[in-house]
Structure formats: C-alpha cells, structure tokens
Amino acid sequence: MRSGAFSEQPAASPTSARWRVSPGFAALKCAVTVVLVLAAVFFAGDRPALTAALVAAAVAGGYALRDLIAPVRLAADPAGVTVVAGYAGHRRLEWPQIERIRIEARSRAGLRSEFLEIDTGDTLYLLSAYDLNARPADVADELARLRTAGGSG
C-alpha cells in the first residue's frame, strides 16, 4: 500500500436502530394544543364553546405530551426489540418472543394506511408511519436484518 493511501473497508451495518416520532409532527401537536387553549380563552364567555375547546386542548395536549415523554416508539438490536407499550411505557421483547412481523395495509375512503405489526402471540403492537417517522415496510426490512444478525432468523 502506498503511503497516504487508505484501504477502503465496506461500511459496517449498524447493530441497532431506533425509530421515533417526527419532531415536526410532535411540534405540530404542541402548536395545536396552544391554539386550542387560546381558543378557549377567546370563547370564555360561551360555556359550551369553552368546554369543547378545553376538551380538545386536553386531548391534543395528551398526544403531544406522549410524544415528548416517549418519542422513541421502537428500538431494535440483534437481541430483540423495545416497543412502546401503553401511554408511554416500554416493553422489551427478545426475538424468540416475537412470532411474526408484518405490514398491515388498509384502504379506506380513498386513503391508504400502513402499520408495522409485531405479534407476540399474546400481544399485538401496531406502529404507524407517524410513530416510526419511516415507511413501515422499510422498518420491517431493517428488523429482519437485525433479527438475522442476532441469529434468530
């Protein structure tokens, strides 16, 4: 090898991956919450409108808070995955616990939605493109690669 020359090594595949809610989408939920609170202030004299605005603000705020508390919805490595469970909890699943990972696609009212489905036999975890900030099919491919890397193919 000549002096100053570098041998090219193939890039190593990452040994773990994480998928999180889009920061922009989380910020949008926070902004909607603020707008709804301001609407509640504006409608302070109208009891039904005030109530509706406060309920909507609470719901939007709950979703925004979840995105801030538990932004990572799925993490994976060769040993298994960690998936969000409940409002903001997490559950660790070793690869042998997972029976199936597939894409669930549905069309309704002219809209197509895809979900990543992780099935443990007892529990079904559904993650949308919004949860993952990625196409569910791409995430499924990466999970398959990590599972194979862990020897649980």
Q: Both 152 and 91 in a single domain?
A: yes
Helix (H, G, I), strand (E, B) or coil at 118: strand
Q: Both 49 and 84 in a single domain?
A: no
Q: Is residue 8 a part of any domain in this protein?
A: no
Per-residue pLDDT of the chain (153 residues; tens, 9 = 90+): 444 444 444 444 678 999 999 999 999 999 999 999 999 999 889 999 999 999 999 999 999 999 999 999 999 999 999 999 999 899 999 999 999 999 998 888 888 889 999 999 999 999 999 999 999 999 999 999 999 887 766
Q: Is residue 6 a part of any domain in this protein?
A: no
Q: Both 103 and 143 in a single domain?
A: yes
Q: What is the CATH number of the domain that holds 119?
A: 2.30.29
| Number of domains, the chain | 2
Q: Both 63 and 77 in a single domain?
A: no
Q: What is the pTM of this model?
A: 0.79
Alpha-helical runs (H) found in the chain? 23-42, 47-69, 129-132, 136-149
The DSSP code for 70 is: -
Domain limits at 112? 73-153
In this predicted structure, what is the pLDDT of residue 135?
95
In this predicted structure, what is the pLDDT of residue 153?
61
Q: Both 62 and 137 in a single domain?
A: no
Q: Both 98 and 148 in a single domain?
A: yes
Q: Both 78 and 151 in a single domain?
A: yes
Residue 21 carries which side chain, given as an amino acid letter? V
Q: Is residue 131 a part of any domain in this protein?
A: yes
Q: Is residue 110 a part of any domain in this protein?
A: yes
Q: Both 138 and 98 in a single domain?
A: yes
Cα-Cα-Cα-Cα dihedral of 51, 63, 121, 112, to 10°?
Answer: 90
Compute the distance between CA of residue 132 and CA of residue 152 in angstroms, rounded to an integer: 23
In this predicted structure, what is the pLDDT of residue 6?
41
CA distances 58 to 40, 52, 54, 95, 137, Å, are 11, 10, 6, 37, 33
Q: Both 107 and 85 in a single domain?
A: yes
